[in-house]
Structure 1
């Protein structure tokens, strides 16, 4: 009788183990369940800390509009250095040449252009490299309507001027007048532009 009960008990135990084994095979093995989320109780009690103001990222400043930019200050053009050379006959000529030039001026005022030219030629024999004397002689030839000689005298004055605008300016004006008197407009205009350029250098 006892053995009958033991057999029944073993049968029940084996059937229970089989059912448990079948249930364990049906349960998923992967993925593992996520761990439970545990809320931090301190977040409710402690206020959230804020970073100090000096550690906060600064907001970018708005870029200025093009119209708000200051106007550019114009750069002044460099002025030409003041000319320090001779500006007239009396700055370079000796007493004898000045005396002859004064006589020529008196004769010119009296209408004696031939006599004025003779006095200037005498002065040039004393100071042949004086560009102002060549200028005066060129002016006399221009007034005598000797345009070819006037241009030659003006050319000689420019060659001795060493860039002196007080010589090159009047010399180009003599050449301009001579070219216009002959009807050569293009050459006259070119001489006028050269004269204007030299006159801008005069201070």
Structure 2
């Protein structure tokens, strides 16, 4: 009986941990969302929890530039940023820059992280660097100008923010 009583706290702890664990993911069945062709189910993609300014319309695996290591580090940085670990995301992106300092998307993502960290001057400088490497990618450049506008707003430069927004709109074809 004493042996059983010594096991009770351990059993209670296991039961509490099991109750706190997230539910196991299940695969959808026919007729449920996430169904792929020929009755083979696939899980639905998770929503993108990154800040809107950090979202790249081109998925990581469709990039024409960037080594696999850089793409992997950018994905890790995204996961870290979503988890609220901006310092970890910055470290991952800095590692990616040591591999390929000419990838404008890495500079852009690091600019977003610097905004998250409350460092608008660094964010603006990194977005400018990304624009210098963008080689005519108007969508990337427009996103960089939006980062610059946000950095300037954070720094209290309303006129500069309006100017940056206007340049972003001009590049993206939006009015105003």
- TM-score of the pair, normalised by structure 1: 0.54
What is the aligned-residue RMSD (CA, Å)? 1.7
Distance in 2 of aligned mates of 1:146 and 1:138: 9
Distance in 1 of aligned mates of 2:133 and 2:156: 28
Aligned residues: 116
For 1:14-163, what aligned pairs fall within 5 Å after superposition?
89-90=60-61, 91=63, 92-163=65-136
Following TM superposition, by how much is the alpha carbon of 1:127 offset from its aligned partner in structure 2, in angstroms? 1.0
Distance in 2 of aligned mates of 1:171 and 1:88: 17
Higher Rg of the two aligned structures: 1
Match of 2:150 among 177, 185, 190: 177
Structure 1 segments (4+ residues) deviating >2 Å: 86-90
Following TM superposition, by how much is the alpha carbon of 1:166 offset from its aligned partner in structure 2, in angstroms? 2.0
Following TM superposition, by how much is the alpha carbon of 1:109 offset from its aligned partner in structure 2, in angstroms? 1.0
**Structure 2 stretches lacking a partner, 5+ long:** 1-56
**Structure 1 stretches lacking a partner, 5+ long:** 1-85
User: Does the alignment pair 1:167 with 2:128?
Assistant: no
Match of 1:186 among 159, 164, 170: 159
Equivalent residue number for residue 172 of structure 2: 199
